Amino acid sequence: MNVDRKIQTLDEFTIQQLRDFPGATGELSHLLRNIGLAAKRVNVEVNKAGLVDILGDHGTINVQGEEVKKMDIFANDQFTGVLRHGIACAGIASEELDDFVAFDDPKSVNSKYVCLFDPLDGSSNIDVNVSIGTIFAVYRRVTPVGTVTKLEDYLQPGNQQVAAGYIVYGSSTMLVYATRRGVNGFTLDPSIGEFTLSHPDIKCPESGKIYSVNHGNFFQYPEKVRDYITVCQHKNKSNGGPYTQRYIGSMVADVHRNLIKGGIFMYPGTTDKPKGKLRLMYECNPFAFIMTIAGGRATNGEIPLLDVQPTELHQRSPFFVGSSSMMDELETYLNK
């Protein structure tokens, strides 16, 4: 069989990027390779989730008499396990774990990165065969290498991210990640089991026609947000409206589409939940970073999202992210 050398795998790509930085240690490439490996394992299970007895509630017993793990827990275990056993991660924090986990083996304490993730985002969509995802953020630890990580390594503002990315388990499986040098997308080629570069140097279109928000909550949103949504629904010469509304309920899939096609995604606070639903550290910050590197923007409604100083691992935040000119338009309403 001829190997098509036009393709470039995730590993090849990250290693090639490293060549441009003579002093680089390769730790970040290693970490991304670990994430890719965990993603492939999760992908296998997600793909057969309809066939096997893995969808049940955590703690129930399947036909083999084994304890059934919810896919969220399965995914969490995969990412945690791979990062724990790799050499590039000093600790993790996850949506599925109350506290961060500092790895204390000799290899891990010598690593300079920590990783925060949502192992499975949109997991309520698995049962109905709709795209779901994984979201991750990578930070350089602030405590000295050689020691066990502390909370302060994890509670860094989003503007300190070294890399961030997501995997979308969709009609095909894609891994997209950003560093300060750019955003690149890799599609899993199942025939060789490799993520291969399919979307080099992704830029979010400066403007778009898609707005994504849960309309069911419309009357719970702040008035300024309602005003903006109403503008999205009207014919408007200056913005080419009315826009098209698209909302899957899997943020990974929603923001991925808007990143590629141009658009805005919003999860505002509501009267019941003023901080909204999404988690700052492993849902909002990674997407804010990716979108910003791709030329878009993100805010919590008050300040640039990436500038928010976190106080808790699992804190929630209102979230608005998208194409730069749509964000400008939104902000004219938010700042009124």
> Where does this chain bind ligand AHG (CB under 6 A)?
95, 118, 121-123, 214, 249-251, 277
Q: Binding of Mn ion at residue 153 (CB under 5 A)?
A: no
Q: Figure out which of the listed residues 27, 118, 194, 254 binds Mn ion, where binding follows CB under 5 A.
A: 118
Q: Which stretch binds Mn ion (CB under 5 A): 7-15, 117-125, 166-174, 239-247?
A: 117-125
Rounded least distance, CB 172 to ligand AHG, Å = 19
Rounded least distance, CB 118 to ligand AHG, Å = 5
| b (16+ CB within 10 A) / e for 223-235 | ebbeebbebbeee
Rounded least distance, CB 248 to ligand AHG, Å = 8
Pairing status of strand 319-322 against strand 297-299: antiparallel
Find where tokens 């901080």 sit.
275
The amino acid occupying position 251 is M
- Residue among 219, 285, 234, 216 nearest 255 (CA): 285
Partner touching 214 among ligand AHG, Mn ion, none, CB below 5 to 8 Å by kind: ligand AHG
List strand residue ranges (DSSP E) for 190-313, in order.
Answer: 194-199, 210-212, 244-245, 263-267, 297-299
- Report phi then psi at 185, rounded to 5: -120, 140
Tokens, residue 48? 């057969």
Rounded least distance, CB 335 to ligand AHG, Å = 25
Q: Figure out which of the listed residues 9, 68, 75, 121 binds Mn ion, where binding follows CB under 5 A.
A: 121
Q: Binding of Mn ion at residue 254 (CB under 5 A)?
A: no
> Quick one: 34 or 94, whose CB is closer to Mn ion?
94
Cβ neighbours around 180 below 10 Å, total: 10
Q: How far apart are CA 155 and CA 326, in angstroms?
A: 30
Q: Which strand (E) or helix (H) includes residue 253?
A: helix 251-261
Partner touching 153 among Mn ion, ligand AHG, none, CB below 5 to 8 Å by kind: none
Q: Binding of Mn ion at residue 329 (CB under 5 A)?
A: no
Partner touching 27 among Mn ion, ligand AHG, none, CB below 5 to 8 Å by kind: none
Q: Figure out which of the listed residues 27, 95, 254, 329 binds Mn ion, where binding follows CB under 5 A.
A: 95
> Quick one: 91 or 119, whose CB is closer to ligand AHG?
119
> Quick one: 28 or 46, whose CB is closer to Mn ion?
46
Find where tokens 């929630």 sit.
316
Crossing angle of helices 27-47 and 10-19, in 10° steps, is 170
Rounded least distance, CB 106 to Mn ion, Å = 31
Q: How far apart are CA 22 and CA 178, in angstroms?
A: 20
Of all residues in the shown chain, the one whose CB is closest to Mn ion is 121
Partner touching 94 among ligand AHG, Mn ion, none, CB below 5 to 8 Å by kind: none
Tokens, residue 217? 């909550």
> Quick one: 140 or 273, whose CB is closer to Mn ion?
273
Rounded least distance, CB 226 to ligand AHG, Å = 16
Q: Is 198 exposed, middle or buried (0-12, 13-18, 19+ CB in 10 A)?
A: middle
Residues that bind Mn ion (CB under 5 A): 95, 118, 120-121
